[in-house]
Amino acid sequence: MPRETVPATKVLALDTSTRSGSLALLEGEKLVAELGLLSSDNHAERLLGGIDYLLSGAGWRLEQCGLIAVGIGPGSFTGIRIGVSTALGLAQTVGCPLSAVSGLDALAHAIATLVEGLAPRGLSPPIGIVMDASRGQVYHCEYRVRAGRLRKARKPSLQSPGELGAGFGGRRLVLAGDGAARYSQELGISRSGVRRLIPFDLFLAAAIGRLALARKRSWLDGEYLKAEPLYIRPPDAIAKLGSKRGSAG
């Protein structure tokens, strides 16, 4: 008998953690539709309207989605909170798994195959994902690719571009992210130097969806993941409260 073909999982992915927010529909690894969001569209009602528009254009119903993926940051506190709560509500309504994915991890996963091909014998350089955190700072996380597997080499951090560049020393790295593009001089990026900038997509939803799908293959049926935001920088209200307590002491 011919082997029965298993339909590819339909994925709805959303990311509202950065100024370049986005929505994406994927069928397996294939990108079906994508929609960019203005930062002002992170309001919950506008976000739901964008999701309806994307689903309608693709001829999909929300109930057909077998996985919902959401970006958990780092990035805008308000954007992350709205994105996570919206994704959680949709997943509970449909009764499908929810996957929470860091934008840092998603971008690293998206370029890992390209980076692995840059060096012989699997000795590919470390990947540094650098995202603009505004206020003259960047979010950074470092990864390594070994035998086709992506591993986190350092914990995510919040630094100034100058501090991060100095910390790199003379090490060879490939860098990606809007922070790397904006602060290329401070990070020592050049075409012929030890640090190179890899092309990347500002819209992260598709990358978030693909990484979520890769992780889903190891889950048990019906398993849900906790969507815990990855802020790195404390929300402004907490930071201001801490500074007031410090000055009062």
Q: How many domains does the chain divide into? A: 2
**How many angstroms separate the Cα of 53 from the Cα of each of 22, 37, 48, 162?**
13, 12, 9, 42
Stretch (H or E) spanning 201: none
Task: Judge whether 245 lies within some domain.
Answer: no
Do 83 and 123 lie in one domain? The reply is: no
| Distance, CA of 48 to CA of 55 (rounded, Å) | 11
Of all residues in the chain, what percent carry a pLDDT higher than 90?
A: 59
Task: Judge whether 163 lies within some domain.
Answer: yes
Q: Is the pLDDT of residue 192 over 60?
A: yes
pLDDT at 218 (0 to 100): 57
Task: Judge whether 3 lies within some domain.
Answer: no
pLDDT digits over 42-69, tens only? Answer: 578 789 999 999 999 999 999 999 999 9
pLDDT digits over 168-187, tens only? Answer: 988 889 999 999 999 999 99
Residue 211 belongs to domain with CATH number: 3.30.420.40
Higher-confidence residue: 223 or 217?
A: 217
Q: What is the average per-residue pLDDT within 130-143?
A: 96
Give the relative orientation of helices 103-116 and 205-216 as an angle to the nearest 10 degrees: 80
Do 121 and 93 lie in one domain? The reply is: no
pLDDT digits over 71-84, tens only? Answer: 999 998 899 999 99
Give the relative orientation of helices 44-58 and 77-94 as an angle to the nearest 10 degrees: 50
Stretch (H or E) spanning 126: none
pLDDT band with cut points at 50, 70 and 90 for residue 147 = confident
Task: Judge whether 228 lies within some domain.
Answer: yes
Task: Judge whether 29 lies within some domain.
Answer: yes
| Distance, CA of 206 to CA of 29 (rounded, Å) | 9
Domain that holds residue 56: 10-102+203-240
Task: Judge whether 36 lies within some domain.
Answer: yes
List, as one string, the DSSP characters of 225-236.
Answer: -------SSPPH
